[in-house]
Amino acid sequence: MGWPQVVFGSALCLGLLAVAGAFLWFQARVLHRLADEVTLTPNEVAFQRRAAYRRIAAGLLMFVLAVLLAGAMVFLEGPAQALADWFDAFPDPEKRPPLTDEQRDFARRYGTYWLVILGLLFALLVIGAWDYLATRRFMRREQRRIREDRKAMIAREADRMRRERDGYHTEPEA
C-alpha cells in the first residue's frame, strides 16, 4: 500500500469520524435543549426530536463506516494487494493456476466486508433522504398552517373594520 493511499484513507477515516462526532454532539444538544423548550408548539418539538434521532442514527452509521474503513485499510489491504499482484503475475487466464482455498476464503471475506460497507453507506443515504423528505413535508405543512392562520386573521380584521364602519362598534369579548 503506497503512501498516497495511506494518507487519503486516513484522511477519509478521520473526516468521517469528525463529521460523525459533530452530528452526534449537535443532535445531543438539540435533544437536551428540547427537554426544556417552552416556546415551540408540540408539533415542532416532536418534529425536532424525530429529526434529531434520525441524525443521531446517521452519525452512528458514519462512525461505524469510519471504523470499518480503517479496519479495511489495516487488515485487508495488504492481503488484497498480494492477491491482486498474484493475479497480475499471470496475465493469461489460461496459464493461471487455480486459487488456493485460503485465497478463495479471503476473496469471499473481502467481498462480504465491502458489501457490508456498501450496505451501510446505502442505509446512510436512505436516512439522509428520509430526513430531507420529512423536513420538507413538515415545512410545507407549517407554511400551509401559517397561510390559513393569516387568512383567518385577515377575515376577522375585515369583519371588525366593517362593523366599525357601519356603526356597530362592539368591544371584543374577553
In the block, which residue shows the cell 477515516? Answer: 13
pLDDT of 56 higher than 90: yes
Tell me the average pLDDT across 59-64: 97
pLDDT value of position 91:
83
Quick one: what percent of the chain has pLDDT higher than 90?
72
pLDDT value at residue 171: 60
Q: Would you place residue 168 in the very low, low, confident or very high pLDDT band (cuts 50, 70, 90)?
A: low
Model pLDDT, residue 14: 96
In this prediction, residue 60 carries a pLDDT of 97
Q: How far apart are CA 71 and CA 37, in angstroms?
A: 41
7-11, 38-42, 92-96, range with the lowest pLDDT = 92-96
pLDDT one-digit tens code per residue, 72-122:
999 999 899 999 888 888 888 888 889 899 999 999 999 999 999 999 999
DSSP per-residue letters across 33-68:
HHHT--SS-HHHHHHHHHHHHHHHHHHHHHHHHHHH
